[in-house]
Amino acid sequence: MKLENVRQRKQELLVEFENLWEELREAMSEVEAMEANEGGRNWQGNQKTAMGRKNFNMDPKTGIQFLVENELLQNIPEIAVSCARARA
């Protein structure tokens, strides 16, 4: 009975993960569409944002460092707290 409960919970978590992943994809599409519509941002700024996003997806610490160094993100303590919560 215990093994069946574990399997059922695993299935629930997989469904939840897929739902969250889809929400993330939709949000990223919305962000990219908004960035494309912004008239004040230049191509180089969009490239830096894309590079920061790529770095963050590969290694969050490196991505945040890149975004802060390129003044695309403020270096505030709330970022660390948010990242720590996301990893928990």
Distances (CA, A) of 28 to 2, 9, 23, 50, 77: 39, 28, 9, 11, 24
Using one digit for the tens of pLDDT, what is the confidence trace for 22-35?
888 888 888 877 77
Q: What's residue 70's pLDDT?
A: 84
Q: How open is the CA angle 39-74-24, to the nearest 5 degrees? A: 70
Q: What's residue 11's pLDDT?
A: 94
Q: What's residue 7's pLDDT?
A: 94
